[in-house]
Amino acid sequence: MSVHELEVTPLPEVESEVAKARAAFDAGRTRTIAWRKATLRALRERVRTREADLLAALREDLGKPTFEAWATEIGFTIADIDQTCAALDSWAAPQRVATPMAFQPGASHLHYEPLGVVAVIAPWNYPMQLLLLPAIAAIAAGNAVVMKPSELAPSTDRVLGEIVRSLNDPAVTIVHGGVAETTELLKQRFDHIVYTGNSRVARVVMRAAAEHLTPVTLELGGKSPAIVSRNANIDIAAKRIAWGKFLNAGQTCIAPDYVLVESSVHDALVAKLNEQITAFYGTDPKQSTDYGRIVNEAHFHRLEKLLHCGTLAAGGDTDVDGRYISPTILTNITRDDPPMHEEIFGPVLPIIAIDDLDAAIEFVNEDEKPLALYVFSEDDAETENIIARSTSGGACINGTILHVSNPNLPFGGVGESGMGAYHGKFGFEALSHRRAVHSRSTKIDPPLLYPPYTKGKEKLMRKGLLMADPRDAARNIFAALRARLRH
Ligand code: NAD
């Protein structure tokens, strides 16, 4: 259990923090690229300075091994700041686009403008990066930001609060608490809300956002399948599934939730998964410094109930005081069994044997659209077929988790697993307004659009030339002339 008491922001202060952020945005300070970069660099410096405290807090809240805490939280955040600062000038620069012939002479540009005040509401499983990455995108886009970390990771919540307050900038602020404080926060007017968490609360967030017509990005979860073909490299599949599943003790939104495996390789896969668990965490994972813990007792008891389903093929050991559940594999599971009723979000991996890959695709498509989908096969046609006939927020072939670590790919769900996406430039764009700016010359004013509407103008319009990109229009005119000359 965490040694820290939960931080709670008094309700009137929730409103005043948002008001301060709004005033800072309205003053125009956050719009400059200089402020955005300076703020991101200051945040980076504070994260580095408090690295030891963050590592300790993540260990207290979730038993995170140092390597995992660095790779998935601290290092991930620092890399995001570095990539963002390096690319910001080009992301924020106006982009020129073509202007139709009828509007010449003129120029058209896309301007990326800040939206205003962005709220970021984060969950407990990656309590640092899921709070700071959306905030980094918000700052990069020139917004003020109000952050709300998860009350279920109280030690990390506390250190993050100290880090954010040490910036001493009303445009970058943080409030703490649970349902009451978040409810109060959601009464305020924002220009965008990024919520990461479960789909039940997402509906609460979206209803509150509707009150102010505030757009939302919802980063949710669900049951992400791993499909293993008889043509898979079973050694590699077992290693990468076990790694993705038992990272952070299974409390990862994109962890493989369950495995669908072709019957002929079912036993081989289960045996290799077993071997892999031992290779990663030894014969007693409780003693391993590389294995995490369940966030709290409520989640521990929820997961413990699943251990009695199907056949226990690995693990099943528990210790409520240490919030420990060993890496567990369940076989002989059907869709009707409790582990398949909701997202597992813990170190319990059901394996379901299927006749063939068509049956796997059907199985996946009968459920809600998942956040991630994993395919293991050495046969490209097979992989392409699965990707083409299914959907998910993101997908990884012959791997797990890593598709979200590439800043050049968007991270987000689809349908029940979420709406909108961020990471890298996608986050900058999601939290910017793309303003259309067309500027016209007054030196000449061609009569193409104005009355009187002559037959000649109508002919140009009917040929689609007025609205065409001038280069296309010129190409079309030359093609027509060439055709006429040939006859
Ligand atoms: P959580 O309980 O920490 O809740 C998330 C946030 O919602 C917290 O800040 C909490 O204070 C707030 N909240 C909770 N109840 C509320 C209410 N009634 N009204 C207003 N705010 C409320 O985290 P969780 O929801 O248990 O997170 C786990 C879920 O998040 C899983 O489904 C997981 O898959 C998903 N998740 C998704 C991503 C992603 O990026 N797509 C990442 C991590 C987790």
Number of domains in the chain: 2
In a domain, 454, yes or no: no
Instruction: Residue 470: name the closest of 58, 102, 76, 53 by CA.
Output: 102
- Asked whether the beta carbons of 129 and 157 are under 8 A apart, the reply is no
Instruction: Residue 138: name the closest of 162, 159, 117 by CA.
Output: 117
Straight-line distance from the first to the last Cα atom of the chain, in angstroms, rounded to the nearest whole number: 87
pLDDT in tens, 110-132: 999 999 999 999 999 999 999 99
Per-residue exposure over 376-391, b if at least 16 CB sit within 10 Å of its own CB, e if not: bbeeeebbebbeeebe
Q: Ligand 1: which residue has its CA nearest to atom 19?
A: 179
What does the radius of gyration of the chain's CA atoms come to, in whole angstroms? 27
Residue from 133, 198, 216, 409 to probe ligand 1 pocket by mutation (most atoms less than 8 Å from CB): 198
With tokens 């939280």, the residue in question is 73
In a domain, 474, yes or no: no
The answer to whether residues 116 and 132 belong to one domain is yes
Which range (23-37, 357-371, 454-468) has the least confidence?
A: 454-468
pTM, entire model: 0.95
Q: Residues 288-299: what's their mean pLDDT? A: 97
The answer to whether residues 325 and 211 belong to one domain is no
pLDDT in tens, 326-376: 999 999 999 999 999 999 999 999 999 999 999 999 999 999 999 999 999
Specify the ligand 1 atom closest to the Cα of 122: 9
Residues marked active site are found at 219, 253
- CATH number for the domain spanning 41: value is 3.40.605.10
- CB-based burial of residue 45 (10 Å sphere; 0-12 exposed, 13-18 middle, 19+ buried)? middle
Q: Ligand 1: which residue has its CA nearest to atom 23?
A: 123
The answer to whether residues 336 and 399 belong to one domain is yes
Instruction: Residue 376: name the closest of 294, 268, 289, 249 by CA.
Output: 268
Q: Residues 153-160: what's their mean pLDDT? A: 98
- Asked whether the beta carbons of 383 and 374 are under 8 A apart, the reply is no
Parent domain of 231: 225-412
Q: Ligand 1: which residue has its CA nearest to atom 28?
A: 197
In a domain, 404, yes or no: yes
The answer to whether residues 255 and 398 belong to one domain is yes
The answer to whether residues 243 and 128 belong to one domain is no
- Asked whether the beta carbons of 290 and 67 are under 8 A apart, the reply is yes
Protein residues with CB under 6 Å of any ligand 1 atom: 121-125, 130, 148, 150-152, 178-179, 182-183, 196-198, 201, 204, 219-221, 253, 343, 345, 371, 413, 418
In a domain, 303, yes or no: yes
The answer to whether residues 236 and 116 belong to one domain is no
Residue 481 — very low, low, confident or very high, per pLDDT cuts 50/70/90? Answer: confident
Q: Percentage of the chain surpassing pLDDT 70?
A: 99
Specify the ligand 1 atom closest to the Cα of 178: 11
| Encoded amino acid at 469, one letter | D
Select from 383, 412, 441 the last residue of a domain.
412
In a domain, 186, yes or no: yes
pLDDT in tens, 73-109: 999 999 999 999 999 999 999 999 999 888 889 999 9
Q: Ligand 1: which residue has its CA nearest to atom 22?
A: 179
The answer to whether residues 206 and 232 belong to one domain is no
Residue 480 — very low, low, confident or very high, per pLDDT cuts 50/70/90? Answer: confident
The answer to whether residues 44 and 128 belong to one domain is yes
Instruction: Residue 191: name the closest of 33, 40, 23, 22 by CA.
Output: 22
- Asked whether the beta carbons of 174 and 13 are under 8 A apart, the reply is no
Specify the ligand 1 atom closest to the Cα of 199: 32
The answer to whether residues 78 and 165 belong to one domain is yes
Which range (2-11, 214-223, 335-344, 395-404) has the least confidence?
A: 2-11
State yes or no: pLDDT of 430 exceeds 80: yes
| Encoded amino acid at 399, one letter | G
In a domain, 477, yes or no: no
Residue from 11, 61, 76, 125 to probe ligand 1 pocket by mutation (most atoms less than 8 Å from CB): 125
Residue from 14, 72, 220, 258 to probe ligand 1 pocket by mutation (most atoms less than 8 Å from CB): 220
Q: What is the mean pLDDT of the chain?
A: 96
The answer to whether residues 184 and 333 belong to one domain is no
The answer to whether residues 272 and 366 belong to one domain is yes
The answer to whether residues 202 and 328 belong to one domain is no
pLDDT of the residue at 1: 44
